[in-house]
Structure 1
């Protein structure tokens, strides 16, 4: 048989002895400095009432001169490992979901070195505000295939680097933070990742982007080179809002349907923390009571890939999320990208 006659689909062997995924520990870290709406109003023409009524945000954290995204990622990871009772050298993989790395070549290896995770391979994953959910689903496949046993997933962003702080339409929205989750293979068939769906639509990507600088500089003769760097965040707020309130309920409905899950069986709704009106609209669509909708948006703003693990860690540590609780989660943002996952919290063994 020649190569031309081979069916590539038929060559893919089905996986056997696949493992389930257990959520074992979480952690988070935020910058020290909190900037309130009233403080921000001293720089741009805005005020607390205007921001709260449109977003639900009251304050945001911004990385200071003696802090860094790497430091926040490390602290969040250490706290997740501590909760699980794991040593860093037991990790097989580190996935760092970020769109704002300290090093454009990748920050995950530096995180690996900081933790002393000498047995782990580490790489960055970029999917903006969907990053943590995409990273978690990616990591789960390594476990399910049997290739790896313990994995650290970190969602961290420092969007304060790329915000135009004189644009009141966008600067009020964003903050800096890091959140982490450690997962491991189950030995009894239990699976805390009950289902997921992921989507992308690059045709709509221009409504929320952080584009590269297009300036070119003379190189030699008639040759030129492009100047490195990026423009500030560019966003069409109305289009992003319409995208979120349409696509998030739709993908959650598809996930619940495909897993045979009723909205009444969900203990918590954990969405990307972008706008309180989006959270309220999704909860209303599925008739989920407000007290079951997790939100800390008021205190941190939109921290991109960090929002879901940051909120998860807060709710686990204050006792709201208990072992066995079912969580419907969705991340959405630039790309455009969005996804949903149905999770259970096992907690430390």
Structure 2
């Protein structure tokens, strides 16, 4: 998927948000398609009758509100043609009569169409402008030209159109008739749509919608009629529908063959384990103590602000402002990367090895924590071994533990140390920007980034940096499946089911804090392990949600560090990225004991209680595409920390 492009104005644009595409490879039945169409097009779109009623009752407060309804109505009216078919005006005499892949739409006259058009035309100038009158007038002209020249009823359109032969079997069928057709009728080019620029983000999005809808009718619309077979003449033009790609063709073949959906057995009821799993006291349990030799981070190189999201509002999103996104998630922006996932991982690994002063041949194992790799063979971990020139390691494998990736990776690294007694490279990396599509919840939350740790053996006779660690997994099936990718019901994009995510996060966070409250403080100190924590760096899931859950579990907001305001949720990379940023921002200025809890997709969770020394953190400020081995320059050690959303945290912990 093309995650984003930068237009000529340097603004981020998501093509998948404005040009509807459905992944028909995931669909087996017409019922599945109907479900997607209802969700994406129908539930948010008013009918023409509803628009007219809102006009008559004065329900529209501004011109923008009316225009948004017009656009949603027109997307709904084009719900099948825009997602399944290419429209090709063809002379009636030249139209194939027997092909199975050429279709004609059967249409019904638009009931009270004239009254609906007149109502909108008269209402618009009476309404106040919401932001910019001139801009709104330009957009309205495009939308109204499409709306005013509609001839057909939208609610009775079938997904599967009749072939020409089937159309001819019913002489009373009506379809589009064009008395003439100009193949050079002006339409908007792809770059025209991308390069739209308006000062108001909502109007920029609506302008793109209007242009896409205009392109659905590339002919002189005022001349179009609905005509039956006996009214068509050889020189008349009709609008033939052709499957837009091979996946639509395959879907239509499956429908003709009557292929049914595969039956999947339902989940069993979940039951707690017969006895609790103990926390691992690393100092007591293991002979080789782990030391964090280095931590390095690679941020995304492209900022996607909340305004950028609104500029790219998809046709299936409910209205939401940039401020509302911030309030709901605590996120002001997220960082995307123009680099592939593999390069992000490689940059982080190289930086961590450099900071640790380690050569690749000294590394005993490579663990990559990620849930967004599409690489199956070889694993990303073994790929990194090859790129880094590691001739042989004890083990290299990927860990799919999503937002608990870092606790899982660190736990495996500690165990591996016992066997290899040499450093283990743990890389946490995610690239979500190309796996979201137009799913709003996911687009609001997720970002890209990478971080790497070198976990080596502590010198004999010294304490390691990790006090306790623990991992968890599973729960009710609803929580296990609370975040899905690929999700066939959402065009194989990442989807998040918020209430279930909140349930599993609250369950695990409460359990972790309770367990730490019962453990003794290390080094013979008074109180509990929880009392000995200097800083909590949680998985950066959703700031608003995590603070609420933490307070419910007895914590206060000023005990937690967040960088999610600036980078978004980077899943497995979020905790080490946040630790890096806490050092960069001056929140961590001396060795501190950190509690790092992670929780997320698959109902997995885990934590590490560890000592973080800012001296081992490779502070970097930029990430740019580079040739292998050319790393972004680190910030000078004496550079004053930059202002950030974590300013309050610096004051609280220094």
CA distance in 2, matches of 1:16, 1:240: 33
Which residue is equivalent to 2:426? 153
Which residue is equivalent to 2:344? 72
Following superposition of structure 1 onto structure 2, how do residues 43-82 of structure 1 map, counting pairs within 5 Å?
43-44=312-313, 45-64=319-338, 67-82=339-354
Given the alignment, which residue of 174, 178, 188 partners 2:461?
A: 188
- Higher RCO structure (Cα 8 Å, ≥6 apart): 1
Given the alignment, which residue of 21, 35, 44 partners 2:304?
A: 35
CA distance in 2, matches of 1:256, 1:90: 38
> Which has the greater radius of gyration?
2
Larger helix percent: 2
Which residue is equivalent to 1:293? 560
CA distance in 1, matches of 2:535, 2:429: 22
Following superposition of structure 1 onto structure 2, how do residues 192-341 of structure 1 map, counting pairs within 5 Å?
192-201=465-474, 203=477, 204-211=479-486, 213=488, 231-260=492-521, 261-284=528-551, 290-341=557-608
How many residues end up aligned between the 2 structures?
A: 317
1:180 Cα offset (Å): 0.9
Gaps of 5+ in 1: 1-14, 215-229
1:25 Cα offset (Å): 0.8
Which residue is equivalent to 2:359? 87
Deviations 1:253-291 (A, max 9, x none): 213423543433211101100111233235435665544
Given the alignment, which residue of 7, 20, 23 partners 2:289?
A: 20
**Is the alpha carbon distance of 1:153 and 1:196 closer, same or farther for their aligned partners in structure 2, counting shifts above 3 Å?**
same
Kindly indicate whether the alpha-carbon contact (under 8 Å) linking 1:252 and 1:340 is maintained by their aligned counterparts in 2.
Answer: no
CA distance in 1, matches of 2:415, 2:353: 20
Q: What SS does structure 2 have at the residue aligned with 1:210?
A: strand
Name whichever of 241-250 and 153-162 sits farther off.
241-250
Which residue is equivalent to 1:109? 382
Kindly indicate whether the alpha-carbon contact (under 8 Å) linking 2:441 and 2:495 is maintained by their aligned counterparts in 1.
Answer: no
Kindly indicate whether the alpha-carbon contact (under 8 Å) linking 1:244 and 1:278 is maintained by their aligned counterparts in 2.
Answer: no
**Is the alpha carbon distance of 1:335 and 1:17 closer, same or farther for their aligned partners in structure 2, counting shifts above 3 Å?**
closer
1:102 Cα offset (Å): 4.6
1:47 Cα offset (Å): 2.1
CA distance in 1, matches of 2:497, 2:616: 42
Which residue is equivalent to 1:138? 412
CA distance in 1, matches of 2:498, 2:553: 24
CA distance in 2, matches of 1:83, 1:63: 23
CA distance in 2, matches of 1:282, 1:257: 20
1:314 Cα offset (Å): 1.8
1:33 Cα offset (Å): 0.9
Q: What SS does structure 2 have at the residue aligned with 1:71?
A: helix
**Is the alpha carbon distance of 1:84 and 1:282 closer, same or farther for their aligned partners in structure 2, counting shifts above 3 Å?**
farther
Which residue is equivalent to 2:451? 179
TM-score normalized by the length of structure 2:
0.46
Gaps of 5+ in 2: 1-283, 314-318, 522-527, 618-654
1:46 Cα offset (Å): 3.0
Q: What SS does structure 2 have at the residue aligned with 1:172?
A: helix
Deviations 1:83-114 (A, max 9, x none): 22222221111100011225122111121222
CA distance in 2, matches of 1:80, 1:253: 34
Matched, 1:170 2:431: no
Kindly indicate whether the alpha-carbon contact (under 8 Å) linking 1:91 and 1:119 is maintained by their aligned counterparts in 2.
Answer: no
Q: What SS does structure 1 have at the residue aligned with 2:407?
A: helix
Root-mean-square deviation (CA, aligned residues, Å) is 2.5
Deviations 1:101-136 (A, max 9, x none): 251221111212222333434211111111121111
Name whichever of 245-254 and 71-80 sits farther off.
245-254
CA distance in 2, matches of 1:18, 1:264: 26
1:324 Cα offset (Å): 3.4
Q: What SS does structure 2 have at the residue aligned with 1:271?
A: coil
Kindly indicate whether the alpha-carbon contact (under 8 Å) linking 2:516 and 2:529 is maintained by their aligned counterparts in 1.
Answer: no
Kindly indicate whether the alpha-carbon contact (under 8 Å) linking 2:513 and 2:530 is maintained by their aligned counterparts in 1.
Answer: no
Kindly indicate whether the alpha-carbon contact (under 8 Å) linking 1:174 and 1:303 is maintained by their aligned counterparts in 2.
Answer: yes
